[in-house]
Structure 1
Amino acid sequence: MRYLVNAAGIPNYGDEFIALAWLRYLQHHRPHDEVVLDCLDPGRADKLIRTRIGELPVRFADAMWALTRDVPEGERAYPVLRERVRPLARELFAEERPEAIHLLGGGYLNAMWPQNAALVAAAAEAGRAHGIPVYGTGLGLMPADASPEFREDLRSFRYVESRDAAGARELGIRKGLDDAFLGVRALVPWEDAPRIVVELQGDMIDDAAREIYRARIDELLAREGAATGAGVAFLEAFPPHDAALWPELCEAYPEARFIDFWELWERGQSGAPGQIWLTTRFHAHLLAAATGAAGIAIDIRGDYYGVKHRSLTALGTGWPVVRLDDPAPLPPARTSPLFRRTSQLRAVRKRLLAGRLHPPAR
């Protein structure tokens, strides 16, 4: 049994995409292995993913995520949380011991959600107590938990990497790649691709920031000659929050399209050469740039989104990253044909890592 953990089931496009990419890898290379995906909402993740992974025997669960719930405010400091979780983790894996526990990539293990660090504590304890190999790939760890115990537990993993240089430096672990690169090669262009794509965001943004983002949208569409919304698509990656702005956008841009999460999931978040994207979200930046689109990334929180977007510009997407509160006009959308090619090489690199952690069956 292979025990995977990530934040699928919210749903949030990037987390679902990463879970699907790893399960598809196992479907092709270890098709007879029993797999558990421990996630936020097993029922919803099952609905989204099961039909796409053939006959791979997957069980959707939330046993490890249950350790993150109902943690009192006073027990969220990592040293305290760790002591709370360790006996539970030993018991959880006492009878059914997987061949590996693998924390998949994503931005769910950082100081913004301190209770989620229970996943690190539980995985590390299972490794120590039962000798189970523990892996962490493509982890978004910034802003980081600064406690020595958190670093100790991360470094106890048999393999662990940060998806960005900032997290690698802060925690003294290797720098790797975001796990979404594992799924890049499966993306296909849309037949009816819009000329301009705006990804909406309704979470982690207050009313004042939402108004500023709305003004940025208006600025871009006016500059690109899309006053009626013709050739424009607005995307929802995190339902229902991202749709909050759509009613007023629909009124302002009557010819625009709204693509809800479920349609986006069916289509895939693929860009195309000649397209212009505006987004606050990290995986939209990564996947659209990897498939050839030009774009502008808006940083709505420097210690979280800023780190993520800058990690992509460091890889060469070509997209400018603009602080939400920057009063200057939006820069032109840019792209990098080289990044489109190197993304395919990074997908190969990620697949090679997958082969090391979960070797193909013979």
Structure 2
Amino acid sequence: MLGGAGVSNFGDEFMVRRWLEFYKEHGLEGELTIDGASAENLSGLFGGIYRKASFVSVFNALKYSGPDNFWESLRRGLNFYDNGGLNNYREFKKWSEKIISTKLMHLHGGGYINEIWPQSAFLLGVAAATKLKYNCKLVGTGIGLLPLSKVPDLYRDEFNKIINTFDFIECRDYDSYLFLKNSVDNADNIFYGLDDTYLAHVDNVSNVDGCNLHISYFSKAKESLHRLLNKLPDEYFNKFSNVYFWECTMQDRECFDIVKAKHPKVKLLDYRDLVLNPLPVNAGDEMITARFHPHLLAARKGVAGYYREDGSYYDVKQGSVVDLGSPFKSIEKITASHISQQAFNRIVSFEDARVAMKRILGARIVEYYKNSN
């Protein structure tokens, strides 16, 4: 399993947790190798729970030794084995046999492959190269690819080859799906699906009293957070039984400190709490968020609230949750009044069906693995 986890980020790690749970249910825990940004971080988070799985950083480590350009990184990944592969990297040669014997490569979900992090394109290219070299199965789930510019003519054939090499690619947002469908010839293996967190229902603490407020912000949006806190009167915060701050990465601590300075009763949930423990969210709670996964997971439990738009990367992500039926509104429309709960909440109403659909996809991957040579 290959992807963007291992950076101590709630969303990426939470998706890996969902797949670890699912594969363990199907008796495959001992067959799993998870390649992430930091083997130490992944092992520290999951190693005590999933003792039979292996956590490494091979392809993720190698992506940083290439060009800082999306399309050149993509090409480098596709040509990786033709240019010597792991034989060029003494510290990684010990993993050669593991890669040669790979029966299935799973590029798991997230929004980590785009031009914000251009070297991540290496993962897309090397995943396809591994299938072409060693004839393994290759799947992608819950993928978000934007922002990404139009495929340059110079790389069009290689991009087509890479995407068509996948047995299937599931896109978690419609914009990424359209990008691939419009960029790739004969793209019958691409479909519009769901975020990887839909592998299971949202675990939540159901005995949290009263109506609670949840806040999730990142440091680049701290000026927006300052303006928001100055706009809302103290009475807005005092009406909640609890105020929780979701620290999705350690960099979010600065925003927690900003909230705490104004409202000392706020409680911190760090990324380990969020990944490993049930979430203290219930229908009737409210949320203010600049982040994607807090919005998605809270909305699925019947929470209403407000999301921040920033005009770029997060607009696609937040918009994809609204497309699923989230009742959240733009933060520009926030008021100090309680949010009236909708009689019909579309994202909640479709929860069971969507989890069932995602698990069918997971079962298809398991079947691929068990039937591979």
User: What TM-score do the two structures reach when normalised by structure 2?
Assistant: 0.83
Is 1:124 the counterpart of 2:145? The answer is no
Q: 1:162 aligns with which of 156, 171, 178?
A: 171
Specify the alignment match of 1:215 in structure 2.
227
Could you list the runs of 4 or more consecutive aligned residues of structure 1 that deviate by over 6 angstroms after TM superposition? 90-93
Residue 95 of structure 1 aligns to a residue whose secondary structure is helix
Distance 1:354 1:193, change over 3 A: farther
Distance 1:89 1:309, change over 3 A: farther
Distance 1:145 1:22, change over 3 A: farther
Q: 2:23 aligns with which of 21, 26, 30?
A: 26
Distance 1:111 1:193, change over 3 A: farther
Specify the alignment match of 1:225 in structure 2.
236
Once residues 234 and 163 of structure 2 are traced to their aligned partners in structure 1, the CA distance between those partners, rounded to angstroms, is 47
Letter in 1 for 2:290: T
Once residues 193 and 62 of structure 1 are traced to their aligned partners in structure 2, the CA distance between those partners, rounded to angstroms, is 43
Q: 1:37 aligns with which of 24, 34, 39?
A: 34
Specify the alignment match of 1:354 in structure 2.
362
Q: 1:63 aligns with which of 46, 54, 58?
A: 58
Once residues 294 and 281 of structure 1 are traced to their aligned partners in structure 2, the CA distance between those partners, rounded to angstroms, is 14
Q: 2:275 aligns with which of 265, 268, 274?
A: 265
* 1:96-107 paired onto structure 2 within 5 Å: 96=98, 97-107=101-111
Segments of structure 1 that go 5 or more residues without pairing to the other structure are: none
The 8 Å contact of residues 213 and 240 in structure 2, kept in 1 or not, is answered as no
Specify the alignment match of 1:197 in structure 2.
214
Q: What is the aligned residue count? A: 345
Letter in 2 for 1:62: S
Specify the alignment match of 1:305 in structure 2.
314
Please give the per-residue CA displacement for 1:240-286, whole angstroms capped at 9, x wherever unaligned.
Answer: x1011233322211222222233333433452111000001111111
Comparing 28-37 with 285-294, greater Cα deviation is found at 28-37
Residue 292 of structure 1 aligns to a residue whose secondary structure is coil
Once residues 197 and 274 of structure 1 are traced to their aligned partners in structure 2, the CA distance between those partners, rounded to angstroms, is 12
Is 1:321 the counterpart of 2:330? The answer is yes
Instruction: Kindly state the Cα deviation for residue 348 of structure 1 after the two structures are TM-superposed.
Output: 1.1
Instruction: Kindly state the Cα deviation for residue 85 of structure 1 after the two structures are TM-superposed.
Output: 3.0
The 8 Å contact of residues 204 and 282 in structure 2, kept in 1 or not, is answered as no
* 1:267-286 paired onto structure 2 within 5 Å: 267-269=277-279, 271-286=281-296
RMSD between aligned alpha carbons?
2.8
Once residues 217 and 193 of structure 1 are traced to their aligned partners in structure 2, the CA distance between those partners, rounded to angstroms, is 22
Distance 1:184 1:6, change over 3 A: farther
Residue 160 of structure 1 aligns to a residue whose secondary structure is strand
Distance 1:269 1:40, change over 3 A: farther
